[in-house]
Chain A
Amino acid sequence: MKKFDRERVLLAVAGPVIALAVAFVLSAIVLLASGKSPVEPYTLMFEQIGFSDIQVLVINQASMYYIAALAVAIGFRMNLFNIGVDGQYQLAAMMAAIVGAHVDLPAAIQIPLLLLTAVCTGAFWSGIAGVLKVTRGVSEVVATIMLNAIATSVIAYLWLPDVFGVKVGNNNTTGEMHESGWVPGINMGDAGEIYGLVFLAVLLGIAYWVVLNRTRFGFDLRASGASESAAAASGVDPKRMVLTAMLLSGGIAGLAGLPILLGDTHTYSLNFPTGIGFLGIGIALLGRNSPVGIAFAALLWAWLDKASPELDFHGYDKEIAVIMQGLIVLSVVVSYEAVREWGLRRQQRRVGAELAAGHVLGADNNTTKEVAGR
């Protein structure tokens, strides 16, 4: 049994390692093709890890990627593809910013209120897709993509000065939030400040693991993802599960923008980061939907983001990092599927071989029984 455990670890690591190696090689080829050194950009980017200000930036950025990827991963675990994380977190961040600017309660109430606002907004937005899927059979992929577009329009509407918008120069904002809603960070001196809500990301990761692996609900959810028909036969109500998973996914997605909103910007403006929801899809894929894997993937992504601007100063295009991210996602999909099939086949062979050799569980107390293959 120990052997199978080690094997599982090996298989879990093999996929991402192969994918990353392939992506690095392919990016090097791209660099070569454009007549640049294929090695120097990497050394430059690796050097960046050593700088404490970059470290803080990477951690802050990764916390948002992490939450967004968890939201996507919940959907993935039951074969739901929530592409709408992007719209969900932006709308949720805006609603939290608006509430934060118009409600002023003591911090102990204000901050939970803002978190709740974001969760409910995200869940509401994804819930629309969930309800459509359950009642009308609309694919959640199509519904959430459309809801992303609608979210953009809703945000533009809310930014109007006679709605909730406050013009600051040329920028659209929702006005400064009351200070009771600001979440203090960890001061790292010159390096900057780590967002306080980085801890929220860690807590969400732990909660994600516990719920999925240690609760009845988590088992039902995973069963639905592994085999819809087997889950239904086991007593899972497929419609309810779809709706619940969509709501959960959207609720978590709603939190993805909050580390920066409550920790830094304190308003929802045109400068607010966009596209985190889409990046979360790639990160969830690379992290194999596991909370630890996603953490590594989020840090990797954040590093590529934050270390690449340095390239501009050395005559390289910082877009090389974007190319890498794209290549990683592509190779991840291919390598995971290959490793998964290889692993399954290998295990089938091994089990066959072990049985033929007579290694049967409980063989000691029923030795008279026929051993396979004899």
Chain B
Amino acid sequence: MKILYGMQKPDEGTIAIDGEKVTFSSPADAIVRGIGMVHQHFMLADNLTVLENVVLGSEKLYGIGAKARRKIKEISERYGLGVEPDRLVEELGVAARQRVEILKVLYRGATTLILDEPTAVLVPQEVDALFDNLRELKAEGLSVIFISHKLGEVLSVADEITVIRRGTTVGTAVPAETTPRQLAEMMVGSELPTPETAESTVTDRPVITVDKLRLEAAGGKALLDDITFTIHAGEVLGIAGVEGNGQTELVDALIGLKGADSGTISLIDEEITGWTTRKRREQGIGYIPEDRHRHGLLLEAPLWENRILGHVTEKPLAKGVWLDPKAAQEDTRRIVEAYDVRTPGIDVTAASLSGGNQQKLIVGREMSHKPRFLIAAHPTRGVDVGAQAAIWDHIREARREGLAVLLISADLDELIGLSDTLRVIYNGKLVADADPATITPEELGSAMTGAATGHLEHDENAEPGADTPEIRKSPEAPEDEAR
């Protein structure tokens, strides 16, 4: 992807566009050749209008005035993007921003579009809309490279699929003749796992109890408000929500990186609201961070030092104030074997492992200290399907042994498959709850956009997303229902 967009030069091999061999030394070269990239993280200036964002950097093409506005409208209509040039970007939702990004690329004359995990931030309904847009583009003669780890999406939108594993092409497939299972097997090279959890292991012993938690931004705006839930031993509580609705803040508050402005957090029967991060970790809170590079690893340190990270005060890594490198190395070897971390040794830096292996090391590290409560934020993000299955297995196994898990994920199948209880976070509030046994991703999706609240009941006849604010009373549901 980086090579195609001119951000990195290939060591070997060639790229041909319309049969002509090309070399790119910068993204500008790629743009000239009609290659456009829609990044996973949007590159838009919030306080500018759509028009201003689109012309930014390409003022020479159609100017910055009426001509540019006409052009934007023309593109928008032609491909059914529905972009309004005079809206401020900060007023737009995620899906609309993505359409602006696509329009930006088309405005610059792209004929080949690269979309990098475009659906990661979208709810199912928005994904469908995006796919309609992509079909329009296709119909107009443009090429689209769609990069995704979600098999169903690839199968529904692509005309041809190329499977890449560990940097090499392992095969190509025609969607019409391929099942998700076959595709997945190509990706892993073996059987496809499912995140389904068989029997319930939920007990009635509360492990973590959060009561009316509130967290404010600097200006007093609530990032989290009135968050109340209980997770019992052996229970996985899944939090669904579009990214940026307070998940990160919730995790920070639970691990102690941010202090709560009001409300309490209790672990078993102790109130831990005032505890430091270190104390919380020592007392049995495991943490699989959302961004492992920023919060979970020291990339340039060897694996065995990464084994110590977060548990520097705990056995077998330390004796009193002294570190015990021998024991740490020994234990790292154990984790590497038990969790199938693919590495030639424990002295290599964390940066040289693939994302999946880094994540397995983190999971192994956190599980090694027998946590009572595990925060798993996007535990399988950016992880290959094989490692994903292994991580799910470890979470399931620990849950059987009485671990309480808070699972945050953008992958709705993972959420529905692993969780015992589901809650939906929207705008810093838990707005809805659902039973993972019956709910569908579409129904969950409508609650994630704030369209539905209360208890989501699966209804065969009702439109997905219908508002059914009926309160369920079941033994496994926490008594504090969504507000």
Contact = CB atoms under 8 A, between A and B. Distances in A.
A316 B243 CA distance: 67
Contact of B336 (A222, A359, A362, A374): A362
Interface stretch (A57-65, A230-238, A255-263): A230-238
A214 interface: yes
A350 B257 CA distance: 36
B268 to A, nearest CB: 20
Given A232-B277, A236-B278, A370-B386, A344 B257 contact: no
Nearest to A344: B351
B318 interface: yes
A227 B312 contact: no
B278 to A, nearest CB: 3
Interface string A1-33: 100110010000000000000000000000000
Interface stretch (B13-21, B105-113, B293-301): B293-301
Interface in B275-289: 276-282, 287, 289
A351 B300 CA distance: 14
B344 A366 contact: no
Given A226-B298, A344-B300, A344-B351, A234 B310 contact: yes
B143 interface: no
Interface stretch (B217-225, B319-327, B426-434): B319-327
Interface in B289-345: 289, 294-301, 305, 308-313, 318, 321-323, 325, 333, 336-337, 340-345
B258 to A, nearest CB: 10
Nearest to B277: A235
A2 B296 CA distance: 27
A242 to B, nearest CB: 16
Interface string A181-224: 00000000000000000000000000000000111111110110
Contact of B349 (A232, A234, A347, A373): A347
Given A230-B296, A233-B255, A235-B278, A344 B337 contact: no
A225 B464 CA distance: 50
Interface residues of A, number: 44
Contacts of B59: none
Interface in B345-374: 345-349, 351-353
A235 B310 contact: yes
Given A1-B345, A360-B343, A216 B313 contact: yes
A238 B153 CA distance: 43
Contact of A235 (B276, B299, B337): B276
A232 B296 CA distance: 10
A4 B312 contact: no
Interface in A327-374: 344, 347-348, 350-352, 354-356, 359-362, 365-366, 369-370, 372-374
Given A230-B296, A237-B276, A361-B343, A370 B190 contact: yes
Contacts of A361: 333, 336-337, 341, 343-346
B438 interface: no
B333 A362 contact: yes
Contacts of A4: 344-345, 347-348
A215 B276 contact: no
A233 B312 contact: no
A235 B312 CA distance: 9
Most A CB atoms within 10 A — which of B321, B341, B348?
Answer: B348
A348 B29 CA distance: 28
Contacts, number: 137
A233 B342 contact: no
Given A5-B347, A360-B342, A370-B189, A351 B298 contact: no
B186 to A, nearest CB: 13
A235 B299 CA distance: 17
A355 B278 CA distance: 35
A139 interface: no
A216 B342 contact: no
Nearest to B308: A219
B312 A216 contact: yes
A214 B322 contact: yes
A360 B344 contact: yes
Interface in B247-287: 255, 257, 276-282, 287
Given A230-B298, A232-B257, A233-B295, A351 B276 contact: no
B305 to A, nearest CB: 8
Contacts of B333: 361-362
B381 to A, nearest CB: 16
Contacts of B279: 235
Nearest to B291: A229
B49 to A, nearest CB: 34
Contact of A344 (B298, B346, B352, B353): B352
Most A CB atoms within 10 A — which of B165, B287, B342?
Answer: B342
B351 A234 contact: no
A372 B342 contact: yes
Contacts of B276: 235, 237
Interface in A33-51: none
Contacts of B300: 226, 344
A227 B298 contact: yes
B336 A216 contact: no
A234 B353 CA distance: 20
Contacts of B41: none
B312 A234 contact: yes
Given A233-B255, A370-B189, A370-B386, A219 B312 contact: yes
A217 B313 CA distance: 10
A351 B281 contact: no
Interface string B405-449: 000000000000000000000000000000000000000000000
Nearest to A225: B298
Interface string A72-94: 00000000000000000000000
A348 B298 contact: no
Contacts of B336: 361-362
Most B CB atoms within 10 A — which of A220, A236, A351, A355?
Answer: A351
A282 to B, nearest CB: 23
B294 A229 contact: yes
A355 B342 contact: yes
**A-B CB proximity, top 6 nearest:** A235-B278, A362-B337, A234-B310, A354-B344, A233-B295, A351-B352
13 contacts: A214-B325, A216-B323, A220-B312, A230-B294, A232-B277, A235-B278, A235-B281, A236-B278, A348-B351, A361-B341, A361-B344, A362-B336, A373-B168
Given A215-B321, A234-B278, 20 more contacts: A1-B344, A4-B345, A5-B347, A214-B322, A215-B322, A216-B318, A219-B305, A223-B298, A230-B295, A230-B296, A234-B281, A235-B277, A235-B312, A237-B278, A344-B349, A352-B167, A356-B166, A361-B337, A369-B340, A374-B189
